[in-house]
Amino acid sequence: MKKVSGKLMMSLMISLSASFSVMAQDGWVSLFNGKNLDGWKVGANASSFSVVDGAIQVAGPRAHLFYDGPVKNHMFKNFEFKAQVKTRPGANSGIYIHTAYEEDNWPSKGYEVQVNNSHTDWKRTGSLYNIKDVKETYVKDDEWYTEYIKVEGKHITIKINDKTVVDYEETDADQRPGDMKNRILSSGTFALQAHDPKSVVFFKDIQVKPLTE
Helix (H) or strand (E) holding 51: strand 49-52
Give 212's contacts (C-beta < 8 A, 6+ positions apart): 78
CA nearest neighbour of 169 among 154, 182, 180, 157 = 154
The predicted-structure confidence for 55-85, as pLDDT tens digits, reads as follows: 999 999 999 999 999 999 999 999 999 999 9
Report the alpha-carbon distance of residue 208 to residue 80 in Å, rounded: 6
CA distance 130 to 134: 10
pLDDT of residue 177: 82
Q: Are 181 and 110 in contact (CB under 8 A)?
A: no
pTM: 0.87
Please give the span between the terminal C-alpha atoms of the chain, in angstroms, as a whole number: 47
Task: Tell me the residue type at 189.
Answer: T
pLDDT of residue 144: 98
Nearest to 69 by CA among 101, 113, 102, 105: 101
Q: What local confidence, expressed as pLDDT, does residue 16 receive?
A: 40
Would you state the pLDDT for residue 25?
Answer: 45
Tell me 72's DSSP state.
G
The CATH superfamily label for domain 29-210 reads: Exo-inulinase; domain 1 (2.60.120.560)
Q: pLDDT tens for residues 143-179?
A: 999 999 999 999 999 999 999 999 999 998 888 888 8
Q: Are 98 and 109 in contact (CB under 8 A)?
A: yes
Q: What percent of the chain has pLDDT over 90?
A: 82
Higher pLDDT, 25 or 148: 148
With CA atoms as reference, report the closest residue to 204 among 119, 146, 137, 157. Answer: 146
